[in-house]
Amino acid sequence: MIKLIKQKLQNMIKSAILKSIEDADFHQFATVDCLGTERKASAYSPYGLYSNPEDGSLCILLSQNGNEDSLYSLIWHPKNRLKLKKGEVALWNKKKSTGIKLLDDKIRIEGFNATIDIEPGGKITVNATEIKIDGSSPTIIDGIDIPNHVHVAGTLLDGNEIPVTGLTGAPVPVPPI
């Protein structure tokens, strides 16, 4: 009896290396290497957070009641870890360097050579090569409705493609260069 309990306890938690993920309709199944033995396990993520981990990621295998046929895996990849200060959080795709960081002093959205910072007090800073606002509802800047416009490289164009200076000024033709 003691031998059986000891065996069950040893089976409850193990480490493994992810070989592959099968991303089925409603579930992910991990094929892992656990001390030279290939095993299948359900891959679990926290509620609302879904990912498709890289092969070679590290796994912790948990078995319900110490039964080998009911394995669950928690998966992470230490080489893709971001350096964050204590208490900071990130949702990140390291391969594409894109994601959302909840930092001490702002929320930062990064990716594809652009950043958006949301700071305390409501300040929003957008840094991008092109800013395009699309939508069927009106676009209002500082209380002024600006219909059908695109903001590119510092020039605000109205619906007639006439450059507008500033945020709220009247259309002003730009002299040819």
DSSP output for 13-65: EEEEEEEEEEE-SS-EEEEEEETTEEEEEEE---TT----PPTT-EEEEEEGG
Place of tokens 């990912």: 51
Domains defined along the chain, listed by start: 2-78 (2.40.50.140), 82-127 (no CATH), 130-177 (no CATH)
Distances (CA, A) of 30 to 43, 56, 72: 6, 11, 9
Place of tokens 């050579």: 113
pLDDT of 106 above 90: yes
CB 141 within 8 A of CB 168: yes
102: tokens are 């909840």
Q: Give the largest Cα separation in the chain, rounded.
A: 92
Find how far residue 6's CA is from the centre of its chain: 41
User: pLDDT tens-digit profile of 51-84?
Assistant: 888 899 999 988 887 777 788 888 888 777 788 8
Closest CA to 140 of 153, 149, 129: 149
Task: Look at 139 and 32; give whichever has higher pLDDT.
Answer: 32
The pTM assigned to this predicted structure is 0.59
Confidence of residue 172 (pLDDT cuts 50, 70, 90): very low
| pLDDT value at residue 170 | 44
Q: Could you tell me which residues come within 8 angstroms of residue 19 by beta carbon, excluding any fewer than 6 positions away?
A: 30, 31, 32, 33, 38, 55
